[in-house]
Chains A and B, each alone.
Chain A
Amino acid sequence: MASDTTDEVPDEDLLAAYARGETAATRALTLRLVPRVMGYASRLLGDRAEAEDVAQEAMLRLWRAAAKWRAGEAQVSTWLYRVVANLCTDRLRARQRRRTEALEAAPEVADRAAGGDAGLIEADRAAALEAALRELPDRQRQAVVLRHLEGLSNAEIAEVMEIGLEAVESLICRGKRTLVALLAGRRDDLGYEDDEG
C-alpha cells in the first residue's frame, strides 16, 4: 500500500493493513491520526508536554487493539477520541488540587494587542480561549472542543461521549454560556475593537 494512495483509504482499512504488517499503512495512520489526537489532547489539557504523552499512549493503545479490531463495530477516530478523553480526565483529576491557573492569569493581552503585532494578537486570543476552556467542567469542555475546534457533528460527539444527542446539545450550550460569561468585557483586550466581526 503506497503512501500516496492511502489518502482515500478509510482508517479502518488502514488499521487492518497495519495488523497485517504493512509499513505504509503504519506511516499513513500515524500522519493522519496523531495531529488530531494531539490537538484534542492539547485543548483538553492546555499543556503541550502532557498532551504529547497522552497522544503517544492513545496511539499505543490503538496499535495494540489493531489485531483484534472488529470491523464496523466502532470508527477508529471515535474510539481514539474516547481514549484521549479518558486519559485526559485521569490527568486532570490527578492535577486538580494543584491547578492554580485561572482566566485572570492569562498574559497581559491588552498591552500586546495594542501593539498591533498580528502574530501576538492571535497567540493572545488562543491563550485566552485556552484559559477559558480550562475553567469548564470536563464534560462541557470535551463537547465544546469536539464541536467547535475538532469540527465533529453532534451525532459524532454523542458516539464519542456515549451519551444522547440532547445531552450533547445541553453540554455545548452550557459550556458556551460559561465561556461567554468568562470572556465578557474582554473584546477590546483581545483586539476585536477594530474588527468587523
Chain B
Amino acid sequence: MEEQKTLDNLFAAARLRPVEPSEALMARVLADAFAEQTKAVAPPVLAAKGNWWLGGLASVFGGFGGLAGVGGAAVAGLVLGFVQPANVTYLADALLGPETSVTLIPSVDLLMGEE
C-alpha cells in the first residue's frame, strides 16, 4: 500500500511539473505551419518545375489544349505525306489535274525584275 501511495504521489508531482515546450520549438512549429498554409492556399502552378520549357511553349499556343491541337495536326500531316492514301491522291487529281505544278516560292529573277 505504501508503494502504491508513493507512485500516486509521484504521478501527482509530475502532473504539477508539465514539460513546457521551448520558445524555439514553438517558433519552428509556427514556421512549419505558415509554410504549409501558404503552399495549401497558393494557386496551382501550371507546369512542373522540370518542364518549364513545355509550359512556355504551351503558353505561346494559348495553353496545353492549343499545343495538343498543333501537335496533332503536325502528326496527321506527316502520316498523310508518308502513307499517301489513294483517296487523297484521287482528290488532289480531281481538284488540280494530274499535271499541275505549283510554285511555292517565286523565283529570285521575278523578284529582282521589279526593280
Given contacts A23-B37, A35-B18, A59-B29, 9 further A-B contacts (CB under 8 A): A26-B33, A52-B22, A55-B25, A59-B33, A125-B9, A180-B3, A186-B6, A187-B3, A192-B6
In this assembly, does B109 line the interface, its C-beta being within 8 Å of a C-beta of chain A?
Answer: no
Give bound CA distance, A180 to B4, whole Å: 6
Give the number of residues in A that approach B within 8 Å (Cβ atoms): 47
Cβ-defined contact, A197 with B9, below 8 A: yes
In this assembly, does B76 line the interface, its C-beta being within 8 Å of a C-beta of chain A?
Answer: no
Interface residues of B in 56-98 (CB under 8 A from A): none
Once A56-B28, A180-B7 are accepted as A-B contacts, the answer to whether A26 and B21 lie under 8 Å apart by CB is no
**Chain B residues proximal to chain A, CB less than 8 Å:** 2-7, 9-11, 13-22, 25-26, 28-30, 32-34, 36-37, 40-41
Q: CB < 8 Å: which of A27, A48, A67, A149 contacts B40? A: A67
Residue among A29, A148, A181, A184 having the largest count of chain B Cβ atoms under 10 Å: A148
Q: How far is the CB of A45 from chain B (nearest CB, A)?
A: 11
In this assembly, does A88 line the interface, its C-beta being within 8 Å of a C-beta of chain B?
Answer: no
Q: How far is the CB of A155 from chain B (nearest CB, A)?
A: 20
Cβ-defined contact, B11 with A149, below 8 A: yes
Interface residues of A in 161-197 (CB under 8 A from B): 176, 179-181, 183-184, 186-187, 190, 192, 195, 197
Give bound CA distance, A184 to B2, whole Å: 9
Cβ-defined contact, B10 with A125, below 8 A: yes
Cβ contacts under 8 Å, B40 to chain A? 19, 21, 66-67
Cβ contacts under 8 Å, A64 to chain B? 36
17 A-B pairs (CB sep. < 8 Å) = A23-B37, A34-B21, A34-B26, A43-B14, A59-B29, A60-B32, A63-B32, A125-B14, A126-B13, A129-B13, A149-B11, A151-B15, A176-B4, A180-B6, A187-B2, A192-B6, A197-B9
Q: How far is the CB of B81 from chain A (nearest CB, A)?
A: 50
Nearest neighbor of B38 in chain A, beta-carbon distance: A21
Cβ contacts under 8 Å, A195 to chain B? 9
Cβ-defined contact, A59 with B32, below 8 A: yes
Cβ contacts under 8 Å, B10 to chain A? 125-126, 128-129, 183, 190
Give bound CA distance, A179 to B7, whole Å: 7
Closest 10 CB pairs of A and B: A63-B36, A42-B19, A38-B21, A21-B41, A129-B10, A148-B11, A180-B3, A39-B19, A59-B29, A26-B33
Give bound CA distance, A59 to B25, whole Å: 11
Residue among B14, B15, B32 having the largest count of chain A Cβ atoms under 10 Å: B14
Cβ contacts under 8 Å, A26 to chain B? 30, 33-34, 37
Q: How far is the CB of A192 from chain B (nearest CB, A)?
A: 6
Cβ-defined contact, A21 with B37, below 8 A: yes
Cβ-defined contact, B33 with A18, below 8 A: yes
Cβ contacts under 8 Å, A186 to chain B? 6
Cβ contacts under 8 Å, B19 to chain A? 35, 38-39, 42-43, 48, 51
